[in-house]
Amino acid sequence: MRHYNPIQRILVTGGAGFLGSHLCERLLADGHEVLCADNFFTGTKANVAHLLDHPRFELMRHDVTFPLYVEVDQIYNLACPASPIHYQHDPVQTTKTSVHGAINMLGLAKRLRAKIFQASTSEVYGDPAVHPQVESYWGNVNPIGLRSCYDEGKRCAETLFFDYHRQHRLQIKVARIFNTYGPRMHPNDGRVVSNFIVQALKGEDITIYGEGQQTRSFCFVSDLIEGFVRLMDSPPEVTGPINLGNPGEFTIRELAEMVLELTGSRSRLVFQPLPPDDPTQRRPDIRLAQEKLGWAPTVPLREGLLHTIGYFDRLLSDGAGA
């Protein structure tokens, strides 16, 4: 399904990151003008290097914790470190990025009367007592734990989005993103897919926390970006929050064994203690996305992993992430 909209000037914060760079690519392919803003804390210029000469693409170094004064029609707010290693590196800044970033981007959207999209997260559900997770579930989140800077920061950002919507009649779109993987993931981000692939390709031990029976659902990046665009293009009454993720559920051990098979690696599986507040299960209920957006993921895990392994293989061959 393609979207034929009038040409829009679109701001993507965090646009040089994993998801942001794929979104910039997609919006350009759909004929829009794209302003990519990133402070390069976790994003890299390499992710958008192939877009720099595009006549409708502009790259700006900017931190969303400071106000931004530009003229745009739509805003996708993706700026925030999203892996535990990165967001726990400077937890105060992580919360600021989620909260101050939301305030600044909402203020910009209010001034421009622009439609604004918030990249929220399945982490708002915490370690869920409801399975699979539905949008009406309020979550089970530790407000003072090691992951709270991200979990609570994103929860507060959702609060701000809905208060701006109610108080200022701002047109908002809130997506709750479940585990996503694909090319341009950071090789050292500590996420399970990139961890396993890099360890397998290097022939290192594959580290599994706990017994590997905790579950995750893995969505390939192209499927997620399709969901983003469909949500942004949906009618005004569709505000979200809407779960976007792949409902296929795998144990961490199953993922590790699939990576070993697809890479042909002889790496061993080693087991370490489970980190605090690590969710035991994670799977989206996507009935709302199916009903409101006509969206469902199409890329099977095995196929997506092959694309991702190919990317990391090239990256490691070039000496990055070594």
73-90 pLDDT, tens per residue?
999 999 987 766 666 778
- Chain-centroid distance of CA 139 in Å reads 19
Q: Contact 110/168 with Cβ under 8 angstroms?
A: yes
Fold of 9-317: Rossmann fold (3.40.50)
> The pTM is what?
0.93
Mean pLDDT of 137-153: 92
Give the Å distances, CA to CA, from 192 to 107, 133, 231. 35, 20, 27
* Residue with the larger pLDDT of the pair 166 and 274: 166
Q: What is the b/e burial string over 107-140, where b = at least 16 CB atoms within 10 angstroms of the residue's CB?
A: ebbeebebbbbbbbbbbbbbbbeeebbebebebe
Q: Tell how strand 74-77 and strand 9-13 pair up.
A: parallel
Amino acid at 254: E
How many CA atoms within 13 Å lie on the side-chain side of 134? 5
Residue 246 belongs to what H/E stretch? Answer: none
Q: What pLDDT score was predicted for residue 281?
A: 82
Given a cut of 70, is residue 72 above it in pLDDT?
yes
Length of the chain: 322
Q: What is the domain partition of the chain in residue ranges?
A: 9-317
Residues 132 and 286: their CA atoms lie apart, in Å, by 9
Residue recorded with tokens 């199953």 = 254
Mind listing the pLDDT tens digit for each residue in 265-281? 999 999 998 877 677 88
Task: Give yes or no: 87 in active site.
Answer: no
Q: Cite the DSSP H helix spans in 169-243.
A: 192-202, 221-232
Active-site choice (150, 164, 181, 311): 150
pLDDT band at residue 5 using 50, 70 and 90 as cut-offs: low
Can you read off the two tokens belonging to residue 185? Answer: 């993931």
Secondary structure element (H or E) that encloses residue 55, with its range: none
Please give the average per-residue pLDDT across 121-146, as a whole number.
92
Distance CA 100, CA 89 (A): 18
Q: What is the mean pLDDT of the chain?
A: 93
Largest Cα–Cα separation, the chain: 58
- The Cα 215–Cα 206 span in angstroms is 17
Distance CA 264, CA 192 (A): 18
